[in-house]
Structure 1
Amino acid sequence: MKLKNALIGLFTLSLVGMAQAQEFNWPSDPQLEVKARELNAAYVDYMKSEQFVDATKPLNWLLVNVPKLNESIYINGVTVYNGAAVATKDPAQKRIYQDSVMKVYDLRKANFDNETKWIENKAYYGYQYFREDKTKLAEAIGNYDRAFEVNGTINPAYTAAYFDLVRRHYLLNKAYTPVQVLEIHDKITKLLDEAEANGKDVATPKSNVESLLIAMELINCDFIENTLGPKLTADPANMALAQQIFNYSVKYKCFSSASFLSALEIIDNQNPTYATSQVRAMRYMQNREYDKALPVLQKALTLAENDVQKAEIHYDLAKVHAQDGRKSAARSEALSAAKLDAEKSKDAWKLIAEMYMSSSSDCRRGVSRVEDQAIYIAAYNAYSRAGDSKGMAEARARFPSREELFTESRQVGETITVGCWIGETVTLATRD
């Protein structure tokens, strides 16, 4: 603490030195000049010795009577009145000194017109002083808004303080709609993202801002669907809103909403990625809109960055083809998935096996029972490659019997070609 105070003292003295190195506009009246010089020296001496309350009296005279004396009376004035506020125990007097800090900034603007240099500092003090006072929140927020206005941005380190004021103003004074709060949050997020892209470490303010948003319990799936969704319907070209809905839907796991799909469609149409196309296709598949899913999956395949991603899309394509009755195309896609990714191979072969099992009635010719039941041997082999013992047992239970083989003059171990779309050669076996 001693080191910190020493550093603060050195900083204050350096400001004093810098300020007093500037030209002073002493009054032309000799008696007034003498008094101004005397009181200027007095408040500086009090300030150096950290007698801030005593320093306020001569400083106040200077601010009122010689406002253009030198910018130092405003630079040091913040130090004096803030120090007095810290030193004072009486709440009413403390507020007077705090208000005086803000007034000093206003006077500095009026007399030296260099607001861009210090507006963020004023906003910082406003947060420290007024965050617990619901009647002063609007004023405190106004200082940050003014910083955005004159500088185009604020220091990333101040973003959490700014959003905390917005949060308090929303909760205590109902000063914003939820949508307006989110707009401010998006403005801050954009600021932090840009700072991060420029190499600044903004992990702490980012985390703090997000924690504040979550604590507000502002966003849930109903809010996304019923508040943001209609706005997107009314303005379907609004990419920023679509991205907002998408991000919030992901964060709060609102994947089943219609607004999420609408946002996803807009994003995927304008700036497609493997992820957006895959998720979009998955939603279509969940809705049984296979005709919509197919072209999106084909696009996702061109955007895939590795074999694992390609295998995932081939497998999804296999499911789409299977649902629409294109079983041969489905098998081809499933085999492609199995070749690309060993982890996906089991799922692919199980899908093939299930298609074989479901094709028995379509492929039955009714000429030879053994030939008609050979499809289950093909299914059994596919289940085996999938490592699905339950499926293997179900398929084996439908193999021809020994008696059926004998009746048709066939033998175990004999090969036979399964017709229809399957077109595989299998080795005859029996269920018994």
Structure 2
Amino acid sequence: MLTNMKIKSAIMGCLSFLMVGLVQAQDNWNWPSDQAMEAKAREYNAAYNDYMKAEEFLKAKGPLHWLLTNAPDLNEALYINGVKVYEGAAELATDEAEIASFQDSVLTIYDLRNELYDNEPQWIANKAYYAYKFYKGNKDKVDIATKLFERTIEIHGKLEPSSLNAAYFDAVYRNFAFNKAYTPDEVIGKYEFIMTKLDEDEAAGQNVATSKGTLEQLLAAMDIINCEFIENNMGPKLTADPTNLKLAKQIFQYSIKEKCTSSDIFLKALETIDNDSPTFSTSQVRGMRYMQNSEYAKAGELFEKALTLAETDEQKAEIHWDMAKVHANLGRKSQARSSALKAAELNEERESDAHSFIGGLIMSSSNDCKGGQSRVKDYSIYIAAYNAYARAGDSQGMANAKSRFPSKEELFTEGFQVGDTISTGCWVGQTVTLATRD
């Protein structure tokens, strides 16, 4: 489906100032040597100029055509003004065949001008603009516009004014939609090239936000970038060249946009980016991906790296919280507790979660802490868990922990009373006040 009117209007609005003005006078007039022909040439030159100034372009094209045919090297003004005349005639004409003929004549005027004056760099961008304006909706001719934009880039290295970039990619989009003229990889290549040029223009102080937004909308409308494309088309290239930072960044950006962050190729791209220029975010996200894959030791290494790159207490708290989970999954419960408490210290919003997390660690430590000689002592860890849940305000956790307290009978049998204190031992390492579940 082709772009909506909002995009088309934005592009044309940005380009309207490209239209050339009238040329009133030029040096180097080459009047015919024959007096009769010279007189006629002067007459027709005055006539077409008068008609043109009055915007009677359909009348202007007659004498102009005679001059182009019989005195083609009269003056370059014929070709500069000729564009205006034939463009105006195309806008005034009502017959579709005539309109198409006049539009074609605009581009022919540029070709004739080049044959005589060999100054293509001066006007190639304008020629590309007119080809886009006239042919963007024409299945058979839109490729003329794309090739002229590419010729402009070949000559100048870029498109100027910068707003032409959006028109060029719109022509690419239409050629793709009409004719499947490019492979998805070729489209991406053109998109990335234009975006690079827009970045350069932006760095030079130009406002390219509208052009960038248009490109993004057009690329999305092509519906060629999805998780399958990233995995099957871009993935093998990064696998073959894992240090290709530009490709890695493309994969990263597209994967985020298309929500393909669970793929192996996303992780590979992230590794390439993080190895080249690590940031807090890249290292943390890599660590989280390893966590998802149950590669806890690798995750821990990345989180430690992220911690060195953290700039705020909030970021540091996030990493300590991540490390708490790493330690827990590796069975390092004491270290898990320390990391959780450090996260809470750095960010008080983590305090409830931290104590609930610690309660869960303790609840899962029955086998770690079971001595087998005293049921009261073995069950005392659940009192410690209860206290942690209480600090968290976790009523469900508190109820679950209390159900595992020793019973009154168990306290009596071992000579304890409610209110006595006892050391839990093991990694929990707390002294708790005895209570019963009943």
Normalised by the shorter chain, which TM-score bucket?
over 0.9
| 2:31 paired residue number | 26
Say yes or no: does 1:190 pair with 2:178: no
| 1:129 paired residue number | 134
| 2:23 paired residue number | 16
| 1:86 paired residue number | 91
CA distance in 2, matches of 1:230, 1:350: 44
Say yes or no: does 1:428 pair with 2:434: yes
Q: In the alignment, which of 52, 57, 75 is matched to residue 62 of structure 2?
A: 57
TM-score using structure 2 length: 0.91
Are 2:314 and 2:347, in contact at CA under 8 Å, matched by a contact in 1?
Answer: yes
CA distance in 2, matches of 1:237, 1:349: 43
| 2:394 paired residue number | 388
Say yes or no: does 1:371 pair with 2:372: no
Say yes or no: does 1:402 pair with 2:437: no
Alignment map for 1:16-415 (pairs within 5 Å): 16-17=23-24, 20-154=25-159, 155-415=161-421
CA distance in 1, matches of 2:72, 2:238: 53
Structure 1 residue runs of 5 or longer lacking an equivalent are: 1-7
Instruction: Tell me by how many angstroms 1:114 deviates.
Output: 2.9
CA distance in 2, matches of 1:26, 1:326: 96
Alpha-carbon distance change, 398 to 134 in structure 1, aligned in 2, over 3 angstroms: same
CA shift digits 1:227-262 (9 cap, x unpaired): 211121122222111111111100111111111111
Aligned residue identity for 2:352: K
Instruction: Tell me by how many angstroms 1:199 deviates.
Output: 3.1
Instruction: Tell me by how many angstroms 1:29 deviates.
Output: 4.3
TM-score using structure 1 length: 0.92
Q: In the alignment, which of 422, 429, 432 is matched to residue 416 of structure 1?
A: 422
Q: Point out the more displaced range, 212-221 or 28-37.
A: 28-37
Instruction: Tell me by how many angstroms 1:330 deviates.
Output: 1.4
CA distance in 2, matches of 1:168, 1:115: 26
CA distance in 2, matches of 1:315, 1:168: 50
CA distance in 1, matches of 2:367, 2:53: 98
Instruction: Tell me by how many angstroms 1:407 deviates.
Output: 2.3
* Residues paired across the two proteins, number: 420
Structure 2 residue runs of 5 or longer lacking an equivalent are: 1-15
Aligned residue identity for 1:128: K
Alpha-carbon distance change, 197 to 389 in structure 1, aligned in 2, over 3 angstroms: farther
Match of 1:47, SS?
A: helix
Instruction: Tell me by how many angstroms 1:269 deviates.
Output: 0.8
Match of 1:118, SS?
A: helix
Aligned residue identity for 1:195: D
Instruction: Tell me by how many angstroms 1:266 deviates.
Output: 0.7
Instruction: Tell me by how many angstroms 1:344 deviates.
Output: 2.1
Aligned residue identity for 1:284: Y
Are 1:43 and 1:59, in contact at CA under 8 Å, matched by a contact in 2?
Answer: yes
Match of 2:89, SS?
A: helix
Are 1:328 and 1:422, in contact at CA under 8 Å, matched by a contact in 2?
Answer: yes
Match of 1:25, SS?
A: coil
Q: Larger relative contact order (C-alpha < 8 A, sep ≥ 6)?
A: 2
CA distance in 1, matches of 2:115, 2:385: 87
CA distance in 2, matches of 1:301, 1:69: 75
| 1:3 paired residue number | none
Are 1:130 and 1:136, in contact at CA under 8 Å, matched by a contact in 2?
Answer: yes
Provide the identity percentage.
Answer: 58
Q: Give 4+ residue runs of structure 1 displaced > 6 Å after superposition.
A: none
Are 2:26 and 2:77, in contact at CA under 8 Å, matched by a contact in 1?
Answer: no
Are 1:147 and 1:153, in contact at CA under 8 Å, matched by a contact in 2?
Answer: yes
CA shift digits 1:15-63 (9 cap, x unpaired): 323xx05342334444443333222212111101111122112222333
Instruction: Tell me by how many angstroms 1:315 deviates.
Output: 0.7
CA distance in 1, matches of 2:165, 2:131: 14
CA distance in 1, matches of 2:33, 2:352: 95
Aligned residue identity for 1:144: F
Instruction: Tell me by how many angstroms 1:399 deviates.
Output: 1.0
Match of 1:293, SS?
A: helix
Aligned residue identity for 2:286: R
Are 1:312 and 1:344, in contact at CA under 8 Å, matched by a contact in 2?
Answer: no
| 1:4 paired residue number | none
Match of 2:207, SS?
A: coil
CA shift digits 1:106-161 (9 cap, x unpaired): 22223333333322221111111111211112111011111211122123322232
Aligned residue identity for 2:140: T
